[in-house]
Structure 1
C-alpha cells in the first residue's frame, strides 16, 4: 500500500503542489487565529476551517472556488451556533445533528458547491462537540474561522494559485432519475439512518466522545456512489484508524502536548492528508487519525484509553454505514460502474474528435482538456470497481472481469494521450484517413453503449505512405490501436458479470 502511494502518477505534480500549499495556508491560518484570540480552541477551529476550505472546495473554475469559499461561513456559522445552543439538550442536539447529516448529503445534488457546503455544515456541528464549545465562545470561534478562511483564501487565490495555469479536473457526480431513484436522495436517507445507529451506539460507548461514530459515518459516505464503494471505504477507514492509533500510541502520547513538536508533526499529517487523498483512502485516514491524536494531546486529554475508544467508535460508525447501505434503499454497484464506464468511453470519443479537428487545422480544437477529463473519469471508474478487484472479494469471475476492464481502459487512455501529443505538433497536417478512423472509433464507442453487443469490423492498420506527414501516420496508429482496444471491451461489458471470461 505504501509503494502504491509513492509511485502513483501525479500529472502536473498537482498532489505535491496541493499538499505543500495546504501546509503553508493552514499554518498561516492557525498562526493568525492563535495570535488574534490567544485561545487554543480558537486556533484549532481556525486550522480545521482552513483545512476544510482547501480540501473540500473543488469547483472547476477559480472564481467558482472563491465564491464557494466565501459561502462557507453562511452555512457554518448558524450550524455552529445551533450546536453550542443545544449543548445541554441532548435529544434536541441529536435530532439537529441528524438533520444536518441528511441536508448535507442531499446538498450533493447541486454539484461541487453543494458538496463543499454540506461538509462544512456537518463539520461545524462536529467541531462544536469536539471542542465542547458553548455560546460564550462563539465570538472568538467566529473570528478564528473567518480569519482562517481569509488567510487560506489569500494563499489559494493570490499567493499560490496554480489552477490558473494547470487544468484541475472536476468530474460531476452521478445523479440520474428523480425522487428515490436519485442517488443523492438515497444516500441522504442511508447516511441519516447510519448516523442514527452510530449515534446510539456511540453514546452507549461514551457520553463524551459519541460524535466520533457519527463522524465515521459521514466520511465513509463522502465520494461514494454505491453499496460496494461504501463497504470498501468502511473497511479502509477502520484499517487506517487502527494503524493511525498504533502510531499515535508511539508518537502522540510520549509528546505530552509539546507545542513545537506537535505543530511540526501536525504539519506532516496535513501534508499526508492532501498528498494521499486522491490515491489511498486508508493512508488519508491514517494521517487524520494521527493528527487527531496530536490535537487531543495539545488539549491535554490524550491517553491510550482515549485512542482505544476512538477505535471502538470508528467500528460503530463503520457498522452503521454497512447496515444502512445493505438494508436501506441500496444503490447497486453494477449500475454505478456502468454509468462511469459509459462516461469514460464517450470522453474517449470526444478526445479523438478534438484531436482529429486539431490535425485538420482547427485553431480552436484542443484535446488536452478532454485528456485531463478522461484521467479524472478513469479515477472514478477505479473507485467504483474497487470493491470488485479488492483482494477479499471471493467472486473470481467478477474480479477478473473488472481487472480486464481497468486494463483496457488504461490502454485507451494511453492511446488517447499519444494521439493528443501528436495533435499538439503544429506541423502535423491533415490526412483524409483521420476522419474515417475517428468515425470508426465513434462507431466502436456507440456499439459499447448498446444494451446488446454490436459486431463491428476492424479495418486493417493503415500502411505507411511516404507522401503523408509523419504526424498523421502516428495519429492513425494511435486511432487504430484505440479501435482495437474498444472492440476488446465488448466481451467484459456485454456478457454476464458472473460468467467466466473466454480468453481472446
Structure 2
C-alpha cells in the first residue's frame, strides 16, 4: 500500500467506521427494521465518501442537500416498482442527469451519485411506496449521526483544509467532459440494463451499478478501460472471500457486523490508491449484507460476477464507440497544464527573489501538485502491466519521472524565495529567462496566452546563500525541461504535443 502522508486516509477510514456504525445503530434502534438500517448505513457511507468540498461549511451544505435530491428519486423508484419499462427509462434518465451535474464540481458529483444510489437502493431492497416513511426516517437519522461525527466529534478538516481540485479541462458542447461522460455513461447503462436483464430479471441493477461507477473520476478511454478491468479483478477476489467467509456465516449478526465494519474501513482506506482493493471490500460487504437479509448463496455471488462483467463490457463498448477521448488526448492536456503550473511557480518565485513582496509562488506549487496527480491518473493506462504499447509505456514513465523532478525543483525554488534573507542575484535573471525559453519550447501556446515573466533588474549583483540555492534549483529545472523535450516532442506519436 502506498504512503499515507499525515495519516489522512487512516483517519478518514476510522472516522467512516465510527460514523457509519453510529448511523446504523441509531436508524436500526429507532425503526426496528433491517432494510431501514441498511438504507441508513448506505446513506451515511455515501455522505462520508462522496462529499468532498474543499471547505467544511460547503461540505455541510452538500450533506444537507443529499436528501433534497435523493428522496424524490427514491419515491420515484418505489412508485415504478413493477412497471419495468417506465422504471428502466427513469433509471437511464437519472444516470444522464447524475453525470451531467458533475459540471458543477464536487457538490454536483456528490448529489448525482446520491440520486443514482437512491434508485439503485430501491432495486436492492425491492422497496415499495409503503416503506418510504420508515426509509426516509432511517436515512435522516443516519445522515444526522454521520454528520455529528464528521462535523462535530472528528472534524480534522478544520485543521488541515484540503486544497481545491484542479479545474476540469475546458470545452464546449459534446466535447465538454461532463456532457460527453453523461452520454457515454447513459449508453453504457442502457447496454448493461438490457443484457443484465437477460442474465437475471431480479439482479440486473448490479450491471447498471458497475457501468455507473466505472465512469466516476475517469476522463479518457484508457482510464475507463483500466478501471473496468480493476473492478472485475476486485469483484472476483471479493467473491472468493465471500464464498469462504460470508456464505458459512449464514448472516450471524455479531461476526457479520464486525466484518462489515472492517469492510467500511477498507473501502475508505484503499479508495484513493487502489480501485481493485476498494472493489474487493465493496464486494465482500455486499455479500455480508445479503447474508443479513437471508438471501445469500454461492449462486448469488456467481451472478454478481456475471453482472459485473456485463456492466464492464457495456462501459468498454460505450467508451470506445461513443464520443471517445483517447488516452493520448487526455494526457496531452494535463501535461500541458502541469508545464504551465511549473512556469507560474518559476515566474512568481523569480519575482519574489527580485524583491516583489506581493509575489507568492505557494498557490502555484499547490496547483502543480494537484495537476500532477491528474497527470498520473491520465498516464496510468499506459503504465499498466498489461499495456501492449511498450514504447509509449517507457516514454510515459520517463515523462512522469521528469515532471516529478520539475515539481521538486519548483517547490525548492519557492521555499528559497520565501526566505526573507534571500537577496536577488543578477545571475537569476538569465537563469529564469532560460527556464522560460525551455518551457516555451515545450508549450509555445503559453507565450500567446500569458505574458512572459519579467525579472526585476538589481541595482548591483549580490551573492547570498539563498540566491545560490535558487540558482541550483533553476539549473536543475532547466536540465529537466531539456530532457522532457525528447519524449514530448520527439519523433513518432508524442505523449503531449505542442
TM-score (normalizing by structure 2)? 0.91
The alpha-carbon deviation at position 274 of structure 1 amounts to: 1.3
Could you tell me how far apart the structure 2 residues matched to 1:11 and 1:34 are?
36
Q: Which moved more, 1:371-380 or 1:239-248?
A: 371-380
Match of 1:391 among 382, 385, 389: 385
Whether the 8 Å contact between 1:167 and 1:369 is mirrored in structure 2 is no
* Change in CA separation of 1:33 and 1:422 when aligned onto 2, cut-off 3 Å: farther
Partners of 1:133 and 1:142 lie apart in 2 by: 12
Is 1:269–1:290's contact at 8 Å kept on the other side of the alignment?
yes
What's the CA shift string for 1:81-110, capped at 9, x where partnerless? 000110110110000000000111111112
Q: Which residue of 2 aligns with 1:88?
A: 82
2:222 aligned partner: 228
Contiguous gaps of at least 5 residues in structure 1: 1-5, 454-465
SS at match of 2:324: coil
Preserved CA contact (<8 Å) 1:412 1:486 = yes
The aligned runs of 1:25-424 (5 Å cut-off) are 25-172=19-166, 174-357=168-351, 359=353, 366-424=360-418
The verdict on how the C-alpha distance between 1:401 and 1:271 changes in structure 2, with shifts beyond 3 A counting, is same
Please identify, of 384-393 and 440-449, the stretch whose mean Cα deviation from structure 2 is larger.
440-449
In structure 2, C-alpha distance between the alignment counterparts of 1:451 and 1:175, rounded to whole Å: 16
Match of 1:492 in 2: 487
Q: Note if 1:482 corresponds to 2:477.
A: yes
Partner SS state of residue 378, structure 2: helix
**2:9 is the counterpart of 1:15:** yes
RMSD over aligned Cα atoms: 2.3
Q: CA deviation at 1:433?
A: 4.1
- 1:208-260 superposed Cα distances (whole Å, 9 cap, x missing partner): 11100000000000001111111111111101111111111112112221222
Once the 2 structures are TM-superposed, how far is the Cα of residue 164 of structure 1 from its aligned partner?
Answer: 2.3
- Between the aligned partners of 1:29 and 1:452, the Cα distance in structure 2 is 51
Q: Do the aligned residues in 2 keep the contact of 1:451 with 1:494 (CA within 8 Å)?
A: no
Paired residue secondary structure (1:489): helix
**Closer/same/farther in 2, CA of residues 57 and 487 from structure 1, 3 Å limit:** same
Deviates further, 419-428 or 51-60: 419-428
Q: Distance in 2 between matches of 1:499 and 1:343?
A: 16
Aligned residues: 482
Q: TM-score, normalised by structure 1?
A: 0.90
- Unaligned 5+ runs, structure 2: 448-460
How far 1:312 moved relative to its partner?
A: 0.2
Distance 1:445 1:267, change over 3 A: farther
Separation of aligned partners in 1, 2:43 and 2:228? 25
The corresponding residue for 1:461 is: none
Q: 2:467 aligns with which of 467, 472, 489?
A: 472
CA distance in 2, matches of 1:359, 1:20: 44
